[in-house]
Amino acid sequence: MHPFEYLAPESLDETLAILARYGDEAKVLAGGQSLLPILNYRLAQPAHVVDINGLPLEGMRLENGRLRFGALTRHATLEESADIRHHCPLLSEAARLIGNVRVRSLGTLGGSLVHADPAAELPMVMLALDARFTLASTRGVRTVPARSFFTGYLSTTIEADELLTEIDVSATPAMGYAVEEISRRAGDFAIVAVAALVRIDRRGRVDDARLAFAGAAPTPVRVSQAEEVLSGHEPTVERVAQAAAAARAAAQPESDTFVSAAYRRLLSGVLARRALARAVSRALEAA
């Protein structure tokens, strides 16, 4: 590991001042589940590591139909909180698939989002939940929608002097939900993962459908083509199959040392169909 200066600011203002001073020479330490492996392999060699665990950036609150999370909220909280399971069960289901108990105990929501691994569960789920990210710096505060946040492999719109402080998502207690994924081993990053949300109106038709992929492109993606196939229609088996086919056609995966792009594209369709079918079943129960 390359030597660095360890800094542990005690306030948000102090943290932002450090990031403004050092910029690209600093890396933020939250849960450390992404940063520490990168440091160990010397894929990053920052001169300064800024530990933000002393900041009051944990917890969740409900405001105007949206859930607001501090960036230091742990994966284990997302998995175990009864309030989160009620107001946003998709997020709880996704959190259970992350890594192992140690990773979920230490890893943070904000850390996962800023790391922006395209095969990770939480960035994908943020797209399905129409999340908004609050980014703070000494220059002020700005809000970025999840759709605009992820720009490429392990890259986002966050600037070197900015800190992700809060994430807010739409509460979805009345929507059917499902997360499906395939990985090489339990707890590994997904080869492909799918998050689905479906709401059924009183006529028995889909009035809100959301589908997002991880592992099917260089960034997590929303699959509007599949959503349009479902919206306004009865969610029959045939209609779900058509939506899954549209999702497969829209996937733009890449090959790597583990699997081919063709295999990922096949999985995209299979998992989309499974996720949508489960989400529809739950939506019908809730309608």
Which are the contacts of 185, defined by CB distance < 8 A and separation ≥ 6? none
Domain limits, CATH 3.30.390.50, in the chain: 176-286
User: Residue 62: its pLDDT value, please?
Assistant: 94
Which CATH architecture describes the domain 176-286? 2-Layer Sandwich (3.30)
Q: What is the pLDDT of residue 2?
A: 79
pLDDT tens profile 45-76: 999 999 999 999 999 999 998 999 999 999 99
pLDDT of residue 13: 98
Half-sphere exposure of 274 (CA within 13 A, CB side): 13
The CATH label, of 2.40.37.10, 3.30.465.10, 3.60.15.10, 3.40.50.300, for the domain at 60-170 is 3.30.465.10
pLDDT of residue 44: 86
Q: What is the pTM of this model?
A: 0.95
CATH 3.30.465.10 residue spans of the chain: 60-170
Report the CATH architecture of 5-51. Answer: 2-Layer Sandwich (3.30)
Closest CA to 84 of 75, 92, 96: 92
Residues of the chain with pLDDT under 70: 1
pLDDT of residue 39: 86
Beta-sheet pairing, 48-51 with 26-29: parallel
Tell me how far the alpha carbon of residue 12 is from its chain's centroid.
24
Residue ranges, CATH 3.30.43.10, the chain: 5-51
